[in-house]
Amino acid sequence: MNEQVELLTKKITEAKIEISKIIIGQERAIELCLMAIFAGQHVLLEGVPGLAKTLLVKTLAHTLGCDFGRIQFSPDLMPSDITGTNIYNLKLNEFKLLKGPIFKTFILADEINRAPAKTQSALLQAMQEKEVTIDNETLTLDQNFTVFATQNPIEFEGTYPLPEAQKDRFMMKVYLDYPELDEELIFAKKVLTGENPEDTLKKNIVNSVLHAEDLHNFREGLLNISMNDELIKYAVDIVRATRSNDSILVGAGPRATQSLIYGSRIQALFNERDFVIPDDIQEMVLSVLSHRIIIRPEYEMEGVTSKDALDQVIKMVSVPK
């Protein structure tokens, strides 16, 4: 393992230790969020209310030395509330740009599926090009700009399904599940002592392991994670197999292949290797592809989930030796 990859591995370990001071459990969710950050991609977080989705993103921003902005999506939220607008200043007799929260580095789009499609789509240009156009003027966002969009399960009242084009902009979908018994007991005991996670962040008990300007340099270290042609073809074959599986109505597109390769290389890094193996690709399939496929209604009625369908897809493709 070369020196730059060793340094990346060390910083990832340090980040996970610091985040665990605030977030109890959810180890895999933390890993996946870190993976997306190091890949320069975006994350869709899903879970019932109260599982610390907001706190997780705020803690990630603090730990990685980035500023944090939060947008609370609601049915009456307008696109200009996200991007900002030009306000006329009577004293100066000129328009002045009032920037919206999207100009922060880490953006929490909280409960994104509570807003209608017009407002959700305000994020599309920013997520793809890291630019925002306001009154025909294009402004560049931070090079580390990352969107963490939380959504409640679609069965909840007052939610709108995300457009397919927008879901495809997210590198992965991360599920936050209920904590284990021992983890929930730890949380309950902290409530009795009056310990507040927000106060812990404010007191700087959680240390920053990186500076924002370091993140871009660290991403270049991923170029040192090797992936041979056979494994690249394996990733492509898995994505293509989603388009021919009987239980899948709409399969994943080419952008999914890009995300799967990104994720596989970073998964190798998290496993302290500077080369990718088939297991790395398989570990990332569910997170990268689950939100990009649509199960046929007749199979969905029979209880087939995205995980079931993707497990079938993996079995359809020959593993390179």
For the segment 41-75, what is each residue's pLDDT rounded down to a tens digit? 999 998 877 788 888 999 999 899 889 999 988 88
Instruction: Supply the CATH number for residue 257's domain.
Output: 1.10.8.80
- In whole angstroms, give the CA distance from residue 295 to residue 309: 8
- State residue 251's pLDDT score: 93
Name the residue among 85, 53, 98 with its Cα closest to residue 72: 53
Domain assignment present for residue 210? The answer is no
Q: 163, 179, 195: which is the final residue of a domain?
A: 179
Q: What is the mean pLDDT of residues 32-36?
A: 93
Domain hosting 69: range is 1-179
Q: Rounded to whole angstroms, what are the CA distances from 285 to 59, 160, 167?
A: 26, 25, 16
Domain assignment present for residue 192? The answer is no
259 CB neighbour count, 10 Å cutoff? 26
Number of separate domains in the chain: 2
Q: What is the mean pLDDT of residues 279-288?
A: 96
Instruction: Supply the CATH number for residue 118's domain.
Output: 3.40.50.300
Q: 154, 179, 204: which is the final residue of a domain?
A: 179
Q: 24 with 165, same domain?
A: yes
Q: 175 with 307, same domain?
A: no
Name the residue among 229, 243, 249, 264 with its Cα closest to residue 295: 249
Q: 174 with 36, same domain?
A: yes
Q: 76 with 153, same domain?
A: yes
Q: 146 with 55, same domain?
A: yes
Domain assignment present for residue 50? The answer is yes
pTM (global) more than 0.85: yes
Q: 136 with 236, same domain?
A: no
- In whole angstroms, give the CA distance from residue 59 to residue 226: 31
For the segment 114-173, what is each residue's pLDDT rounded down to a tens digit? 877 777 777 877 888 888 888 888 889 988 899 999 876 655 555 667 777 778 889 999
Using DSSP's 3-state secondary structure scheme, residue 268 falls into: helix
**């989930």: which residue's tokens?**
305
Q: Name, in order, each residue with C-beta under 8 angstroms of 257's C-beta and a sequence gap of 6 or more.
A: 235, 236, 239
Judge whether residue 246 has pLDDT over 90: yes
Q: 118, 150, 179: which is the final residue of a domain?
A: 179
Q: 32 with 133, same domain?
A: yes
For the segment 293-312, what is each residue's pLDDT rounded down to a tens digit? 999 999 999 999 999 999 99
